[in-house]
Amino acid sequence: MQEYQLGSDDPDISGDYDWVVHNYDAGDWSGSGTAAAYKDGQLFMWNLGHCSCYGPTDDGPQVVDAASIDWSSLHSLAELDNDVRVKVEELLSAKALQQSAKRKKARE
């Protein structure tokens, strides 16, 4: 799994993802941030805000089909912060270009 840490702390998102992007800052008893991960055409998104009662990923992710994302409204899906959103757009664009090149090569 490729990990992109944009914040000062690691929320410890584990799983069999292709990549994960997170922007997380932990305090003494709380934390804040957002994260996104990708696997098999699905985008997993977390709001990492929490208090001392639970951890940053305890609420579980919101899952959407990456191909159906309306980028103009992605921010509202899981309230991804702008830094995470920009990196996710970059990674999904690169993935789409790779898939397009594979399809083109298969047709030749």
Structural domain that includes position 73: 2-107
Give this prediction's pTM: 0.78
What are the tokens at 36? 């996104």
pLDDT value, residue 7: 93
Per-10-residue mean pLDDT for the chain, 108 residues long? 94 93 89 92 88 79 81 60 89 78 76
> Encoding tokens for residue 71?
């980028």
Specify which residues 43 forms β-bridges with: 38, 64
Can you give the pLDDT at residue 71? 64
Number of domains in the chain: 1
Characterise 94 by phi-psi region: left (phi > 0), alpha (psi -120 to 50), beta (else). Answer: alpha
